[in-house]
Amino acid sequence: MKLLLICILSLALINCSSTIKDAELFAAKDEWLQAVLAYRKALIKDPGDIELRSRLKQTELKAADFYYQHGLKMLQQKNIDAAIVQYQRGLIAKSDHSKLEQAMKDLLIIKEANRVYREGVLSREAERHEDAKKLFAQVLRIYPDHEQAALELQSYQLKSDEQSENDFALTSTDPVTLNFKKSDIRSTFKFLAKSFGITVIFDDTIKDVSVTLFAKDVTFKQALNLLLVTTKTFYKKLGKNTILLAPDSKEKRGQYEDYIIRSFALRNTKAKKMSAILKSMLSIKKLIINEKQNTIMVRSTADVLELVDKVIAVNDRKPAELILDVEILEVNRTKTEQLGLDFGSTISVAYESFTGSFSRALSLGTVTLPGISFSYLKQDIDAKILANPKIRVIDDKPAKIHIGDRVPLRSSTIQNVTGQTRTTYTYTDIGIKMTVEPDIHLDNSVTVKMNLEVSSLGQNLGTVSEPAFSIGTRNATTFMLLRDGETAILGGLIRDEDRRSTAKVPGLGDIPVLGRLFSNDDNQSVRTDVLLTITPRIVRGWDLPPKNLRNIYSGTEKTYTNQPIFSNFNDNLSRTDVEISESSQRSILSGKIEASHEDIINLRFKKPAYTVLAGGEIEVQIYGENLENIKSLPFEVLYNPSLVSLWHSEGELDEKNSTPGILRVPLYKINISNDKPVVIYKLKMKGIKPGISYLVFRTSEYQRENGDEVKTQVQTTRVIVH
């Protein structure tokens, strides 16, 4: 026995020594992660070895520093994915390395920003400029130092500035007063040309009409629009200070207006459907679609093409999407009872061929009596079929679920000319079949159209050689209106089947009491119940168009244009929402973009949605943006106390005044010197029971140090408890 123990200890020491040597070899080759794993393996075998534990700690630190430096080298080469791999190896070696943790977080932010940037580039190449600007601005919110996104926004802003500048090379920009009374059309435009230093060329079909007009202190564009409307003419720009004036008629517009062919790539809507929208909305005749590439080509004027772009931007939005959480429970219970004597049902008599008397025939005959069997069977069978499928589907598209078997059933028997027969089969779905078609509304409620069929293979109604099975079915069709996360229950699909049969000897089986000895009972009871629950969970709500696309100017009944006739008299009507504020425009001209929101404080949660198990914990971070020179920021977070509870918080918590469902955060110690997004508060929530709790901000009035009041913009989030 002692010899055996000595052998075992010797083998363990040899194995441990071999593992340590392997770790040292890995370290010598700069394979630090393998070295760490080798030391950990050796420490598992000998957990009490203090020297081995010390070597492991040193190797972990060296490995973390090695992979951190290699990650920096990869980052200098702009190879983000390789840098992430290096940092991941370092964190495997030493999970609590602060530099690696921070570097990994920064790289993941950069990677997410690059992903959004690529989406913006694709949108720009597809002529989806509004979406592109929104995505580039989102990149800067994620990672403010993203140079390429800043350049893209700078390019858009410069183009916008160029379009907003006066396109005419005017000699004067001072306003003038128009005072014409039955003046000739040529003299009115000559006055305009002389006042602002432009050249006007008249089409030969311009008629001599009198003009009566009075307008005080109008700019060049205002005066030009007034004269065009009054004289029913239009102009075509020929140069910086030259215009061609012609009657506003279909013939002349067709003669002078430039036509452009532009291709529009669609993301979500089919080209055929979008073409019908454009034809009915803008009366476009020269339009073709490419169904394979899902693109539309339109030939029209620049104003109409701009309207086409806006109409497409409004209608080509991502559809809403949800996950259907379905639970199906089928319970089958079968009771069988057989009890009594079975005397059979037939007595057979057989005779051989004979000659002679009848008495001799009786002596030659054979009588066969049936056997007697005693049945004493009793069964009680419970069977449960439980399924919990989760299926993801977009709005207005059917989702199908089948839980069961595909059973081949005889369809037909065919005999060919040679006499050979061939049997064909049809595969039929047997089991639980469900078809669901959701209709997602703007408030994230869902109208669900559901068809449920529960089928089973019945008895054979045919013969053994030519079977014909019956199929028992139970069907239900319903429409339901459910909220996001609300569970609906469908039950009552019960099927009861009772069979009772008695076989007895005629006469003897009818004797009271004693008749039980000459009878056999066979009873069977089958009960099947199906219970279904369905819960819709919104993955993505409707992608609504931005506010600046919900009201689009389209011209008059006669002509299409992207600006109202008298837009110059109210500049605010023709302005569209810009992604960058005026203070940022000055930064753009200097080559730098900053995320400025002027006098609006932004409060938001880190994620738009959180998930947690009942009894589990989550951390929720609250970000503040544009908090410069604001030292006091009290706010409240509202939540559903029956679903989640405040488990722990970091920062200032007003525990005395907080009540279930309301978390009050005073935050009187804010000292932020920039307007970038920062984490201002952290809280941890604990799930109580399944459901969805929304976290909603409730704010008050805030002021900067100079006394200026600022507005507050907040975003909500939701916690999904499973």
Contacts of 185 (CB under 8 A, 6+ apart): 206, 207, 208, 209, 210, 211, 231, 233
What is the pLDDT averaged over residues 582-600? 40
pLDDT band at 14 (very low <50, low <70, confident <90, very high): very low
Tokens of 433: 């079949």
What is the pLDDT averaged over residues 556-577? 58
Query: What confidence score (pLDDT) does residue 317 get?
Result: 86
Give CA–CA dist 284/299, Å, rounded. 9
What is the pLDDT averaged over residues 689-708? 77
What is residue 153's three-state secondary structure?
helix
Inform me whether the pLDDT recorded for 165 exceeds 60: no
pLDDT band at 583 (very low <50, low <70, confident <90, very high): very low
Give CA–CA dist 227/189, Å, rounded. 8
Give CA–CA dist 645/637, Å, rounded. 12
Note the pLDDT tens digit of each residue in 236-258: 888 888 899 999 888 888 888 88
Inform me whether the pLDDT recorded for 593 exceeds 50: no
Give CA–CA dist 19/41, Å, rounded. 8
Inform me whether the pLDDT recorded for 296 exceeds 90: yes
Give CA–CA dist 429/432, Å, rounded. 9
What is the pLDDT averaged over residues 440-464? 84
Max CA-CA distance within the chain? 150
Give the residue carrying structure tokens 């075509």: 236
Give CA–CA dist 687/693, Å, rounded. 10
Give CA–CA dist 609/606, Å, rounded. 9
> Nearest to residue 328, comparing CAs of 445, 199, 469, 433?
433
Considering only 65-79, 85-99, 206-220, 413-427, which range has the smallest mean pLDDT? 413-427
Query: What confidence score (pLDDT) does residue 366 get?
Result: 66
Q: Which amino acid is at 196?
A: F
Measured CA angle at 646 (ends 645, 647), to 5 deg: 105
Considering only 262-271, 336-345, 459-468, 554-563, which range has the smallest mean pLDDT? 336-345
CA distances from 342 to 335, 500, 513 (A): 21, 16, 17
Q: Which segments of 579-714 does DSSP mark as H helices, in order?
A: 582-589
Neighbours of 162 (CB within 10 A): 9
What is the pLDDT averaged over residues 200-205? 88
Considering only 151-165, 237-251, 267-281, 545-559, which range has the smallest mean pLDDT? 151-165
CATH classification (class only), 176-255: alpha beta
Q: Return mean pLDDT, the chain.
A: 77
DSSP string, 96-141: T-HHHHHHHHHHHHHHHHHHHHHHHHHHHHTT-HHHHHHHHHHHHH
CATH among 1.10.3720.10, 1.20.1090.10, 3.40.50.1820, 2.60.40.680 for 602-721: 2.60.40.680
What angle do the packed helices 32-45 and 50-76 form, to 10 degrees?
160
Give CA–CA dist 30/38, Å, rounded. 14
Inform me whether the pLDDT recorded for 447 exceeds 90: yes
Inform me whether the pLDDT recorded for 344 exceeds 70: no
What is the pLDDT averaged over residues 125-153? 84
Q: Between 127 and 348, where is the model more confident?
A: 127
Inform me whether the pLDDT recorded for 347 exceeds 70: no
Question: How much helix, strand and coil, in percent to the nearest 5, is found in the chain?
Answer: 30, 40, 30
Give CA–CA dist 296/312, Å, rounded. 10
Q: Domain ranges for the chain, please list them.
A: 18-96, 110-166, 176-255, 258-317+543-560, 323-345+366-540, 602-721
Query: What confidence score (pLDDT) does residue 582 get?
Result: 36
Contacts of 190 (CB under 8 A, 6+ apart): 200
Beta bridge partners, 603, equal 624, 714
Note the pLDDT tens digit of each residue in 526-536: 677 777 888 99
Query: What confidence score (pLDDT) does residue 25 get?
Result: 83
Note the pLDDT tens digit of each residue in 24-62: 788 787 888 888 888 888 888 878 888 888 888 888 888
First and final CA of the chain: distance in angstroms? 56
Tokens of 704: 């900067």
What pTM did the predictor assign? Answer: 0.55
Structurally, at CATH architecture level, domain 18-96 sits in Alpha Horseshoe (1.25)
Considering only 90-99, 612-621, 704-713, which range has the smallest mean pLDDT? 704-713
Query: What confidence score (pLDDT) does residue 518 get?
Result: 65
Note the pLDDT tens digit of each residue in 622-654: 888 888 777 678 888 888 888 888 655 554 444
Inform me whether the pLDDT recorded for 117 exceeds 50: yes
Contacts of 113 (CB under 8 A, 6+ apart): 139, 142, 143, 146, 149
Give CA–CA dist 49/204, Å, rounded. 105
Distance of CA 137 to the CA centre of its chain: 21
What is the pLDDT averaged over residues 164-181? 76
Question: 233-239 and 260-265: which strand pairing?
Answer: unpaired
Q: For the purposes of burial, counting CB atoms within 10 Å of the CB of 593, is it exposed (0-12), middle (13-18) or buried (19 or more)?
A: buried
Query: What confidence score (pLDDT) does residue 675 get?
Result: 65
Say what the alpha-carbon torsion angle 243, 245, 249, 251 is, to the nearest 10 degrees.
-70
User: Is the separation of the CB atoms in 333 and 381 below 8 Å?
Assistant: yes
The b/e string for 167-202 (b: 16+ C-beta within 10 A; e otherwise) is ebebeeeeebebebeebebeebbebbeebbebebee
Tokens of 519: 């009878």
The b/e string for 245-268 (b: 16+ C-beta within 10 A; e otherwise) is bbeeeeebbeeebeeeebebbbee
CA distances from 296 to 126, 276, 282, 491, 535 (A): 11, 11, 14, 49, 39
pLDDT band at 288 (very low <50, low <70, confident <90, very high): very high
Give CA–CA dist 86/105, Å, rounded. 13
What is residue 11's three-state secondary structure?
helix
> Nearest to residue 187, comparing CAs of 206, 168, 215, 167?
206
Q: Name, of 375-389, 448-462, 492-506, 667-681, the range with top average pLDDT.
A: 448-462
What is the percent of the chain where pLDDT is above 90? 7
Inform me whether the pLDDT recorded for 393 exceeds 70: yes
Inform me whether the pLDDT recorded for 293 exceeds 80: yes
Inform me whether the pLDDT recorded for 387 exceeds 80: no
Tokens of 150: 């800043």
State which fold the 258-317+543-560 domain adopts.
Answer: Ribosomal Protein S8; Chain: A, domain 1 (3.30.1370)
Beta bridge partners, 720, equal 611, 692
Give CA–CA dist 344/582, Å, rounded. 102
Considering only 27-41, 274-288, 348-362, which range has the smallest mean pLDDT? 348-362
> Nearest to residue 446, comparing CAs of 268, 323, 531, 545?
323
Inform me whether the pLDDT recorded for 612 exceeds 60: yes
Give CA–CA dist 22/41, Å, rounded. 11
What angle do the packed helices 2-28 and 50-76 form, to 10 degrees?
20
pLDDT band at 597 (very low <50, low <70, confident <90, very high): very low
Query: What confidence score (pLDDT) does residue 11 get?
Result: 43
Query: What confidence score (pLDDT) does residue 588 get?
Result: 32
User: Is the separation of the CB atoms in 223 and 192 below 8 Å?
Assistant: yes
What is residue 71's three-state secondary structure?
helix
